[in-house]
Each structure stands twice: as C-alpha cells, then as structure tokens.
Structure 1
Amino acid sequence: MKLTHTKAVFLMVAVTLMWSIAGVITRHLEHARSFEVTFWRSFFTVLSLLVILPFFQGRVVFARIRRGGWPLWLSGICWSVMFTAFMVALTLTSVANVLVTMAIGPLLTALIARVFIGHRIPLRTWLAILVAGAGIASMYGAQMERDQLAGTLVALLVPLAGGINWTITQRAHAQGQNVDLVPAVLVGAVLSSIATLPLAMPLRASAHDIGLLALLGLVQLAIPCALAVMCARVLKAPEIALLALLEVIFGIVLAWFGADEVPGQTVLAGGALVIGALVANELLGWRQRA
C-alpha cells in the first residue's frame, strides 16, 4: 500500500482512535482483573500478529526475528513492560490518569537519549519538560491525598520503557544494526503473555471478557501497530508525535461517555499542561526546521 501524505495523516488519526479504546473496553469487563487482563490481551496480540506480520512483510519476518540480535530482544522486553504496565495501570486508576501520564513519553525519551547517547536537548524542550513535569506533579499530589498513586506510578513505566526502547533502536541504528519495531512488538507480546500467565492464575475471565480482550489484542494493538509503522514511512516525527496525542483526547472522551468515568479537575488541568507543552515543543521545532 502506497500512502500519500494526506492518507497517512487520516490513517494515523484512525490508529490513535484504535489505541484509545482500551480504557473504555476495560471498564466493561465482568471478571478478568489485573494480570489476567494483560495476559489475554497479549495472547490475542500474538495470535493476531502471527497472521498480520506475514501478510505485511512475508515469511521473511520470522527470519528477521532470529537474526535480530540483542537490540531486537531488548526492544521486545521494553514492549512487554509497556503492554503489562499499561493494562495493569488501567485496573488501578482512571483512564485519564494513565493516558496523561503516558503523554510525557516524548519528553522522557529526550531525557533518556540525552543521558545515554548524548542527544542534545534544545531550550524549548527543556521548558516543555519543566511545564509537563509541573502538570504531572500536580496530578501526583492530588492522588497521594486520595491514595490512588499506585496506578499512576505503574503507568509511568510505559513512557519510561518507551523512551528506553527508542534509545536502544537509535543506538543500534548508529552502530549499523536496524531494529524492525513490528517484529519486536511480537516478541514483546510473547514475553508479556509468558510473564503474566502465572500471575493471572486462576483464570476467571468469562466468555464476554475473552471476547472483549480478543478485540483489544487485534483492533487496539496488533492492527494499529502495523499501520503506525506504515505511517512512519511517510510522516515526519513531529507530525506523528502531535497526532499521537489524539489518543489522550479520544481515550478520555470514550471513557467519559462510554463508561461514565468523569475526569477530575486536577487531571484535566495537569493534562492541559502536559499536552500544551508537547504541542508547543513540536510546533516550535517544526517551525525551526522549516
């Protein structure tokens, strides 16, 4: 499939909409909780990718996994942490808390890349980090008063693992080793399934729950991950970073109207600071490069 720029933009919007359904669907589960939710979603992601990957990349994709070396497996470990922490966090705190915390990913990635591979951070990004940090700190302070901090701390593992993942792939690329992120997603889903199965026992999910979690594995993770890689070949990094923020908006709105989960004022205010800082940083960087 050859994408024009306009088609890639609309496809990326559709990708963020698919990503955003996890929160509202999780709220309609009957019996599955915590690690069992993670296990079933990762399990169905594996099954989906075993069909999708050969369709998009041919059977050579499995050879790439065997020859991927340490960067691909480290990337897979990072994906497994992201998959597990995201779903566990959704069972511990509100959808809005999880999504706003995840939104700091680009700024946290910049800090990790600065420490480990020496990437320079421009002044605008330092300012964005400070503003976004203030937004997250205000959220954390309010949650400490209500004893709801655990879920947000677990959610923080998602952008942390994402930043490490990006840094690993960039360093491998600089050393002449290209990491194909889609097979790494498959590795991550396999590792997540294996790691969470013992913690999920005894399995309590109903047929209704398994149907919803199968939907998440296919529609919320496997398909959009494959499509996002296609979009990344056409869109510039700032465009993807800005469009990816739609997941936060879509996710909060879906949970609000689909599960009556009204976000608190502190979350909305902190989220506004985080998203505003990210948008300003990307737009300024885009303008400077232009």
Structure 2
Amino acid sequence: MKLKHSHAVWLMVLAPLLWSTAGVVTRQLENARAFEITFWRSFFTALSLMVILPLWQGRDVWARMWRERRALLLSGLCWGVMFTAFMVALTLTSVANVLITLAAGPLLTALTARVVIGHRLPARTWAAIVVAGLGIAYMFGSQLGEGGVLGTLVAFCVPVAASINWTLVQRSQRSGHQVDLVPAVLVGAVISSLATLPLAWPFVASAHDIALLAGLGLGQLAVPCALAVVCARVLSAPEVSLLALLEVLFGIVLAWLGAGEVPSQQVMLGGLLVTGALLANEWLGWRERAGHYHIETLDTDAGEP
C-alpha cells in the first residue's frame, strides 16, 4: 500500500480516533472485569485479523509470516506489551497517572529512532514533543500522585514498547528486504490473550459484554493498529508517536459526549496545547516539503533544453 504523506497523516488521525472509543464502550459493560476485558478484546482482535489478513494480503500471508517470524515476533511482543500493560496499569493507579506516563511516548520514540536508526529530528518536532507532553501533563497535573509507583512503572512499559515498535517498523523499511509488520498486530494480540487468560479466569462477562468487546477487538484494536503500522511506513517514528497522542483528546471528547463527563478548564487548556503542537508540527513539515518540491521543480525546469 503506497501512501502520500498527507494521506498517511489523515489515516494516522483516524487510528487514535478509533482507539479512543474504548472508554465509552467499556462504560457500557455489565460484568466483565479488567483482565477479562483485556483478554476478550485481544482475543477478538486476533480473530478479526485472522480473517482480515488473508482477504487483504492473500492466503500466502501465513507463509510470509513464517519467513519473517523473527521481526514479527519482536514487533508482536511490543504490541502484546502495549495491549496488556495499559489495562494492568489502570488496575494499579489512576487514569491520570497512566495518561501522563504515556505522554513520554514521543520523546522516547524520538530518542530510540535517533539511537537505533540515526534518525535526525528537526527542531520543530522536538518543540512539538515538549509542548504536547506539557499539555497532557497540565491536563492531569492536579491528579498526579493519586496512584502508586508500581502502576506508573507498569504504564511506562507502554511508551517504551511503542517507541521500540515504531522504530522497528521504520528500520525494516530501510533494510534491504521489506518486512511487512502488519501481521505483528496479530502476533501481539495472541500474546496478550495468552498472558491475560489465567488472570481473566473464571469468566463472568455477559453476552452483552462479549458483543461489545468483540466490537472493540475489530474496530478499536485490529483496524486502527493495522492502519498505524501502514502509516509508519511513510511517517517518521516521532510523527506516528505524536499523532497517536490524539487518542487522549479524542477520548476526552467521546467521554464528554457519550458518558456525560464534562472536561475541566484545565483539561481543555491542556488539550489545546497538544492539538496546537501537533498541527504546528504538521503545518511546518508540509511547508518544508512543499518548498523542497518547488525548488526541485525549478531545478528540473532549468535543466530542460
């Protein structure tokens, strides 16, 4: 799948929008507990991708997965950690502490990409990382400290795994052989399901709960995670991580509209900081790319007989 940069940006905006539906949907659950929610969501993600991948990439996708098993396992482990650690962290500390910890994602991704693949970051991206992180910290700053240290440490596994994962995707694209890491989402869902199954047993979810969690597995994890991997082939790892922060803002809006949770003034001001940082980074990047294209076009025209 070949994408233009602008198309990849819009798809990467859609991905966190879909991710952000988890909060509203889980508010409608009747009996399912935290680990059971994680299990069923990961289980249905894996089931969905077992159907989607052959339809999208052909039946030989399974053979390709076996040939690329090392890269898929590494990326799949990252997805498994992200799928699982977020929910576990929520059982140990407050949502605010978890979200503040996730704000470290863009900075960790930038540093990982710089160390592993030598990716150089423009000043605008560094500035956007700092401003976005400050915005999320400001949104939830008054609630910081409500949870324990253990919960924060577990939550920190999410941005660490995400930074490694996005860097793996870009490294595979820069290598001599192109490795398709979309199936790694399936591997991660299977790992998460197996890891949380003992903690989820015995099951208490109702048929209503399972139906909602099946919807989350398909629409909130399988589809947006696959989109994110595809977008990471075009966007830089820090850009993917920055745009993924929109999940926090979308989640706040959906909770406001769907669950009646009116955000405070602190949340709204912090959200403006995050949105402004993301928009400024993309707008400046667009101007730079447009400028380079214009110069190249002039050079080409000047060389014509």
SS in 2 for 1:181: coil
Structure 2 residue 70 is the aligned partner of structure 1 residue 70: yes
C-alpha RMSD of matched pairs (Å): 3.5
Tell me how far 1:217 sits from its aligned partner: 0.5
- Write the deviation string for residues 46-95 of structure 1: whole angstroms up to 9, x where unpaired: 1111111100011111112111142221100001111113344566544x
Question: Counterpart of 1:115?
Answer: 115
Q: C-alpha separation between the residues in 2 aligned to 1:117 and 1:239? A: 15
Q: How does 1:154-233 map to 2 (within 5 A)?
A: 154-227=154-227
| Alignment correspondent of 1:25 | 25
- Amino acid corresponding to residue 272 of structure 1 in structure 2: L
**Identity rate of aligned residues, in percent?**
68
Instruction: For structure 1, list consecutive stretches of 5 or more residues without a partner in the other structure.
Output: none
Counterpart of 1:275 in structure 2 is 275
* Change in 2 beyond 3 A, CA 1:6/1:137: closer
TM-score (norm 1): 0.81
Q: 1:137 to 1:243 in 2, by over 3 A?
A: closer
> 2: CA distance between counterparts of 1:145 and 1:10?
35
Instruction: Encode CA deviations 1:134-178: one digit per residue, 9 max, x unaligned.
Output: 334445642235448876665443333111101122333434243
SS of the equivalent of 1:195 reads helix
Report the equivalent of 2:289.
289
CA distance in 2, matches of 1:127, 1:2: 29
Which structure has the larger Rg?
A: 2
Distance (Å, rounded) in 2 between the aligned partners of 1:170 and 1:147 = 35
Cα contact 2:99–2:136 (8 A) shared by 1: no
In structure 2, the CA distance between the partners of 1:265 and 1:157, relative to structure 1 (3 Å rule), is farther
Give TM-score, length-normalised by structure 2: 0.78
For 2:208 and 2:180, locate their aligned partners in 1 and report how far apart those are by CA, in whole Å: 34
> Secondary structure of 2:51's match?
helix
Distance 1:254 1:101 in 2: 21
Shift of 1:212: 1.0
* Structure-2 separation of matches of 1:232 and 1:118: 16
Where in structure 2 are there 5+ consecutive unaligned residues?
A: 291-305
SS in 1 for 2:164: helix
Match of 2:303 in 1: none
Q: CA deviation at 1:130?
A: 2.8
Other-structure match for 2:60: 60
Whole-angstrom distance in 2 between the partners of 1:87 and 1:142: 22
Do 2:113 and 2:119's aligned partners in 1 also have CA atoms closer than 8 Å?
yes
